[in-house]
Amino acid sequence: MSKTIPVYDPRGVVEAAPLSMSHRVKTLTGLRLAVLDNTKWNANKLLRGVRDRLAQKHALGAVNYYRKESFSRFAAPELVEKIRAENDIVLTAIGD
């Protein structure tokens, strides 16, 4: 006789309205780049490297740096609004 063990699916159900993707830019020339550091140990190192490579290949208009309070939390709505208002494109990453 075999026993059965209930197995629960931890994924749950996500209900969200679909969003359209942002349009891709044709050139980075003159655009203001936001770099959002999520405060993970190596994220800043990774972001600096990507920023440097972008700056070598493209004439960015400006580069602005921002930091989240914690990598495990969403960026505060005020920070997201500030980034949106002050920049054209955003670079962020997770680096462990």
pLDDT tier for residue 7 given thresholds of 50, 70 and 90: confident
**What does pTM read for this prediction?**
0.74
Average pLDDT on 76-88 reads: 96
User: Under a CB-based contact definition with an 8 Å cutoff, are residues 66 and 34 in contact?
Assistant: yes
Grouping H, G, I as helix, E, B as strand and the rest as coil, residue 90 is strand
In the predicted model, is pLDDT for residue 90 greater than 80? Answer: yes
- C-alpha 34/C-alpha 60 separation (Å) is 11
42-81 pLDDT, tens digit each: 888 899 999 999 999 999 999 999 999 888 888 999 999 9
Q: In Å, what is the CA distance from 61 to each residue of 13, 21, 56, 64, 93? A: 42, 24, 13, 10, 21
